[in-house]
């Protein structure tokens, strides 16, 4: 899988687990941008993720699983960004359900810059079922897809 394929798969991810520094991983909606080479998140003031960044912690990891045909562990760095234009670009019904509108003063943007990803590309749930059935009939290990690394 190339970097381009990674970004294409990320476009289909609706939820992933983001952890920053000592802040535990929590479910977040990622907004990947291949052109920028970053993944954006909309969160709120006072969350553990925001507190970690404010305390100077930037080392981050994103866990992607069960979305489409890609499972991944993505490592990188995060920072808080104030960018009204970017917020307007990302704003959507999911984000709006957490805030009192785009002008809510509690809104914070997190910019996640990936450095490295360990990726498992699977054949999806139907492909998984076929491989398991095939393995039972042939007594061979199932082909669960490819495992590789992507550097950014």
Residue 46 backbone phi and psi in degrees, to 5:
90, -5
Question: HSE of 133 in the Cβ direction (CA atoms, 13 Å)?
Answer: 6
Which pLDDT tens digit goes with each residue over 6-24?
999 999 999 999 999 999 9
Query: For residue 96, what pLDDT is reported?
Result: 93
Per-residue pLDDT at 144 exceeds 70: no
Taking only the tens place, the pLDDT of each residue in 81-130 is 999 999 999 999 989 999 999 999 999 999 999 999 999 887 554 444 44
More confident residue, 128 or 1: 1
Alpha-carbon separation of residue 109 from 31, 100, 140 (angstroms): 11, 16, 48
The Cα 15–Cα 40 span in angstroms is: 12
Domains of the chain plus CATH, in order, are 3-151 (2.30.110.10)
Confidence of residue 134 (pLDDT cuts 50, 70, 90): very low
Q: What tens digit of pLDDT does each residue of 38-84 get?
A: 999 999 999 999 999 999 999 999 999 865 678 999 999 999 999 99
pLDDT given for residue 131 in this prediction: 38
Check if the beta carbon of residue 38 is closer than 8 Å to that of residue 77: no
């Amino acid at each position: 899988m190339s970097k381009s394929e990674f970004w294409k798969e990320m476009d289909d991810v609706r939820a992933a687990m983001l952890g920053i520094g000592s802040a535990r991983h929590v479910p977040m909606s990622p907004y990947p941008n291949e052109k920028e080479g970053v993944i954006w998140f909309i969160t709120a003031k006072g969350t553990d993720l925001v507190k970690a960044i404010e305390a100077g912690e930037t080392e981050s990891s994103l866990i992607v699983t069960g979305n489409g045909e890609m499972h991944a562990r993505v490592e990188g760095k995060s920072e808080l960004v104030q960018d009204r234009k970017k917020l307007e670009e990302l704003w959507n019904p999911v984000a709006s359900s957490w805030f009192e509108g785009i002008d809510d003063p509690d809104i914070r943007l997190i910019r996640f810059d990936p450095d490295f990803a360990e990726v498992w590309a699977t054949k999806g749930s139907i492909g998984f079922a076929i491989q398991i059935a095939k393995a039972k009939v042939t007594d061979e290990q199932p082909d669960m897809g490819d495992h590789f690394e992507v550097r950014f």
